[in-house]
Amino acid sequence: MKKFIFFIFLLIIPAIAFSQGHRKKSGKRKKTHHKSSPKFMSNKNKHKYGGNKYTEYDGGLTIGTASSLTDIGGKKWAGRDFFMLDNQFNTTNIAVGLFARKRLDKHFAVNGSLDYAGLSGSDLYSPGTSRFNRGKSFTNKIVELSAKCEYFLPKNKRLHSPLDYFGYAGLGVFYQNPKVVDSNPEEAIISSTQPVKFSKIQLTMPIGIGFYYTFPNYLRVGMDIGYRKTFTDYMDGFTRPASQGNDCYFFTMVNVAYVFKASSRTKMSAYRNYSKKFFRKK
């Protein structure tokens, strides 16, 4: 987990530093056009933002954690579907990815993403349960390709806040290759004589919430938590007769993006926040 925290600092600190780098200190500031301000912020054009009010494009990188909810591992509840409290902190892994988004209107956007993550679980981290003596563990590397529809919460028109909050749902596919390890020799013999066939390509339904902050230079930093519902009980390469549902997993991601084509709404918000820094009264 220390590695994850280190990676987060590697992303956020340079992003904030970059966004602040162009803000040079000076003595008295007059309420005039700053020589380094973007073209649309000039006195002549500051109210002529042009273009569609909401349509815009952005994309970037994501990094965070991936956690599994499977038959192997878990805490007290043995990996119940959609029960994130069953997550084993000790088996949390790193996840990375790419994404591109198009804002359609005031409330909706579409987002396409490609993510790579490691998943794992171990019965040895389930003390006080029957699974502890079973002693199974697993690892799985997944590659997920998904498309999501994002719904943005309404914003106060007067504030022009650079913060946006949203929820999302979508559909995707992922490739998996689980590997099971048995610490119990007798259990290992039984497993090896009864191989289970399952598809390595599966469907997934991403559901989650998130937010992002847009800096005046169109750098965007955000975070989202996304649950992945699946339709397989073999993400850990194993199932049991008493299984209460399919396996699933979830991501907790920090993302850094750039707005390649800004909407007039984003430009207005950027101008308001930019002017607070450069056009202060004496």
DSSP string, 121-158: EEGGG-TTSHHHHH-EEEEEEEEEEEEEEEEEPP--TT
- The separation between the first and the last C-alpha atoms of the chain, rounded to the nearest angstrom, is 48
Has residue 28 been placed in a domain?
no
Q: What is the pLDDT of residue 35?
A: 45
Query: Which CATH number does the domain housing residue 127 bear?
Result: 2.40.160.20
Contacts of 21 (CB under 8 A, 6+ apart): none
Has residue 272 been placed in a domain?
yes
Has residue 25 been placed in a domain?
no
Would you say 152 and 106 are in contact if contact means Cβ atoms under 8 Å apart? Answer: yes
Has residue 94 been placed in a domain?
yes
Q: What is the pLDDT of residue 45?
A: 44
Total domains in the fold of the chain: 1
Has residue 184 been placed in a domain?
yes
Residue 163 is part of which domain span? Answer: 2-10+51-278
Has residue 45 been placed in a domain?
no
Average pLDDT per consecutive 10 residues, the chain (282 residues; last block may be shorter): 50 50 45 47 44 83 93 64 64 95 93 96 77 84 97 76 90 95 58 66 97 92 95 88 82 96 79 57 42
Has residue 239 been placed in a domain?
yes
Q: What is the pLDDT of residue 136?
A: 86
Has residue 195 been placed in a domain?
yes
Q: What is the pLDDT of residue 267?
A: 79
Identify the residue whose tokens are 């990188």.
61
Measured at the alpha carbon of residue 141, what is the angle toward residues 138 and 145, in degrees to the nearest 5?
140
User: What sign for the dihedral angle of Cα 55, 56, 57, 63?
Assistant: negative
